[in-house]
Structure formats: C-alpha cells, structure tokens
Structure 1
C-alpha cells in the first residue's frame, strides 16, 4: 500500500515538473518570437559582415559586394568583394549545388544555386544563417530566432571552392533542365529577395526559412503545378532526389550515377587558383 502510494506521489510530482518545464519552454519561445526583432546592425562574422547591394536596370543587374574571398585555408583568407554587372540576355543556365555536412548521414546539408552566362562566367546565390562573432551554426538554435537570414551573392571560387577544397565537404553541382526565360525569371526573383532583406531583415529558421525552403519558394513560383511540399526540404542532403524525380536535373543517369558524375571535389582541388575554375569543375 505504501509502495503504491509512493509511486503515485512520485508520478504526480513528475508530471507537475514536466508540465512546468514545458510551460517554461513555451514561455521562453513565445518571448523570443514576440519581443525579439531581426536587425541589420550586429557584430557580424567576417564572412557575413557585408550585404550585397543590388540595382536592377532593365536588362542589367548591378550587384555591389559580390563575395570573392581569397582562401589559403578555411581559417586563413583575405576578405574581398567585387562589383559586377550581369546582363540578363546573356544568362543561360542554372545549377543546383548541394553540399552535405556529414559522410555518415546525408540529412544535414547546404544547398544553393549558381547561374551561368554566355561568356562562361558564373555567380552563386546562397541563402544562409547570418552569424555574429562568437556564434556557430546550430540546428536547434536556428529554431528560436538566433540568426538573421542572409543572401550571399558570390563567385564560385569562393562559395564552391570553400566547401569542396577547404572544408572538404562533398559538393555536387547539378545542371538544371529549364528554359533560359525561366532561368532569368529565377535570377531576378532571387535578386529582388536579396534586395528586400537588405532593408527588411528576417530571422532564419531551421524549419521554414532556411536555405532549401527559400530555394523551393523561388522555384515554385516558376512551376507551381510541378512542386509540392516535401520532407526532403527539412533534410536537404536528400533534396537532390526531388528535382531528379521531377526530371529537372539534365541527365539520363540514375541518381547514384548522377551523384558520382556531378561530385566536383577532385576537380575543384585540381582547379583551385585557376581563373577557369568554374569551367574546369564542369568538365
């Protein structure tokens, strides 16, 4: 009898404690969502310190602060930004870049797009969590208004080479099968979004405002009947299977064969420092 009463009391107190913990967690999250506001003015990490400035003028897209860091290693680099003018009538291709974080599980990953022009130049657009000095990326912290959202516009010698050469993460660069008209619409949509974030900041969110969900939003505008929400948006390391199943990756290979064909790490290491880097990794 006493043992039964003791178990009942312990269970009652356990439920109360768990309830208080849950209530405290809800209060903590609610406070962050209600009272915290995203900002453009923080002590940002070097790689996220400078926002792109964009001006669209008819056929021309002028981008100030295109990231073009010069790396000797992942931690030893010279910050460098360049100004570029992109001509929409010269924009021809778009490439889906996928970089899983781990070898043992494809789930966590970063994805972004690269755009190719008639003169064989390329520019990447990468949606990222904008981190402050002393911050590191955390999936869980990304759920509670920890990071702002940032569109990095950069050259492949920075954004692709950093991951493939210096971080030594697997990097896959897939050609996307679509019309030049849609490529240009997609590029303009991403430039417009980057413009907006430079004025009205938003919080990054691991679940619904991350790299892959933003890419989905852009692409879905161009082909609303072809896309629907998919669990692979939350586990972006598998997200290459989604465009593959829709026939958007320009290949007749199986998915495993395509992954092998479009993994660029060896080519990136061989081409590092070569001005033809973007061309060589696609050969």
Structure 2
C-alpha cells in the first residue's frame, strides 16, 4: 500500500510540474513580444521545469525550489497584466457600442454600418440611432460557423416595428496586427468588445464575404424580457467603455456572456454544455421551447440557413427582409 501511495503521489507531482510548465510557457509566449528577451525567458522557464523533472526522478526535493520560485514570480507578473481601452485597434472594433437610456428611448452610439467588399476592403461608417423599446417586436439568434460544427459565433438581433434591426455581438477587440487565437483567448491576449451593427454589415460579412455558414432562428421571448435583454447589452457597452476586461475563450465569450444576461432575466434557464459548444446552441434553445413553434428542429435549421438568400441579394435590396423570407417567425405579442 505504501508503494502504491508513493507512486500516486509521484504521478500527481509529475502532473503538477507539467501543468505549471505548460501554463507558464504559453503565458510567456502570448504576453511577451517577439524578441530576444522572450526567448531567454522561455529558455529559463523550460530549464527550471526540466530541473523539476530531474528532481522527481532522483528524489532530490530541493531541486523543485527554482520552479516554485519562478512560478511565484510568474503569477505576480501575470496579475499585473490589466486590460486597456488604449491600443491601436483594428478598424472594425475600433469603437465599442455605447448608449443612453431616456425612458423607453435608447440612443445607441457607435453602431457599425460598414460596407464590405472583402475582409480587407471596406468602407467605414459609424452611426448613432434612436430605438424605442415600446416598438421592439422581435429577437433573433444567428449562429455563424467558422471552425467546424462544434463552435459557432453567436449574434443577437433586435427588430423594431419600423423595420430596423440592430445586432449585438460580443467579440475579441483585436489590435491591427492581431488575429483570433482560441488558445490566446485563455492568456489575456485580447480585450473584450461589444459591437452593435446593422445586419447588412455584421451578418452579411459573415455569409457573403467570409463564406461562413449562418443560421437564423426567431426566439420566443416575452416583450419585457426582450426589452430587458436589450438594456443588458447597453449596460455591457457602458461598462466596457469605462472598465475594460479581457476576453476569455471559455468564460467570457460571445455565448457565455449572452447566457449570463438571459439567465438573469428569464427564470429557469439551466446551464448546459452546449453553452460552451456553441455550435449546438440552437438545439439547446429549441429544447427550452424558445424557438418558433410547430416545427421540428431539423425544419427550423433547414429553413434558417440564410446563405442562399443572402448571396442572392441584389443592389438596393433590403438584406434583413431578404434573409427572413420563408423563415418561421415567432408572432409578436
């Protein structure tokens, strides 16, 4: 029994050494700029990890000290890394949506309305819009698949009686030189951004420009819940304007933040693994009886695939009306 106990302890120590070594390596890789200093830091960190592995094999516990001290230094350095709103941002996330509420009227600033010809060729256009929450009549969910069936980007669109739609999207706030990295999202590589945009901008660029598969679902929410969700997005934007925060691939992303807002508004919304595996979020919402009634899930998914309609858009044609053709919609209250 003692022999087995010693073996278990040895395995646990080995796992701890490896986890600390991998975490520290990735933290240094993503946070230090490419330079001689980064390579020296990485080399030193790997060296103390190897020393710990040697100590484990030889039973010389004092050789664990360098890695333990290095870990304490690394944690102190890590805690000093704070988010910022002052960087050279990529144009599409250069501004964060912000709004003021005056009774039922919400004035949204920094609503993105770009014209996209390609991912690198576009006309920038930011607008301010007034929205009357008394005329809010619909909430639609878009899932845009960009890396296989498991992960999708979640967007929420609010429709008003005058035919306008505004979409909210929680995204990384990438700098001009940056591209998305799922691993980097665990290591404070990106700030968090809230984009408010027209569907012609933010939905069309995914379906028509990037070639992502985009699905749209009409969500069954009572009007007070729709209004509360809209105001939750406004509050998120206000908070990010004054208190930046980091994006996190697992805990603060395009789907988990939406789930947190909805769960505070609607009672009885259970946590589900599909909140993390967002490619299956539509199945989860369907299981809550929150999509258009009288249709099977497969019917809703087939009808909700907007790409053929989106790609058929002609100049001057209303994109929002076009992608809703034939789509089962929840009847407004």
- C-alpha deviation, 1:253, in angstroms: 2.0
**CA offsets 1:264-283 (integer angstroms, 9 cap, x no match):** 11111112543511011101
Q: CA deviation at 1:15?
A: 10
Contact 1:54–1:195 at 8 Å: present in 2 too?
A: yes
Residue 282 of structure 1: aligned partner: 324
Structure 2 gap ranges (5+): 1-9, 28-73, 326-333
Match of 1:194 among 224, 237, 255: 237
Between Structure 1 and Structure 2, whose CA radius of gyration is higher? 2
Name the residue aligned to 1:72. 117
Q: Any stretches of 5+ residues in structure 1 without a counterpart?
A: 1-11
Please state if 1:204 is matched with 2:201.
Answer: no
CA distance in 1, matches of 2:12, 2:289: 51
Q: Structure 2 CA distance, aligned partners of 1:40 and 1:251? A: 43
TM-fit CA distance, 1:157: 0.4
Which residue in 2 is equivalent to 1:152?
A: 195
8 Å Cα contact 1:32/1:144 also seen in 2: no
Tell me by how many angstroms 1:251 deviates. Answer: 3.4
Alpha carbons of structure 1 residues 17 and 61: separation in structure 2 relative to 1, 3 Å: same
Q: Does 1:24 align with 2:21?
A: yes
Which structure ranks higher in relative contact order (CA pairs < 8 Å, sequence separation ≥ 6)? 1
Q: Is the 8 A contact 1:251 1:258 kept in 2?
A: no
Residue correspondence of structure 1 range 1-283 to structure 2 within 5 A = 20-27=17-24, 28=27, 30-31=75-76, 33-102=78-147, 105-225=148-268, 227-271=269-313, 273-283=315-325
TM-score, length of structure 2 as denominator length = 0.76
Q: Deviations along 1:26-51, whole A, 9 cap, x unmatched?
A: 45474564111010001111111112
Higher normalized helix content (fraction of residues): 2
- TM-score for the superposition, normalised by structure 1: 0.89
Q: CA deviation at 1:182?
A: 1.3
Give, in whole Å, the separation in 1 of the partners of 2:319 and 2:299. 23
Structure 2 CA distance for partners of 1:255 and 1:33, relative to 1, 3 Å:
farther
The 3 A distance-change label for structure 1 pair 25 and 251 is same
SS state of the match for residue 247, structure 2?
Answer: coil
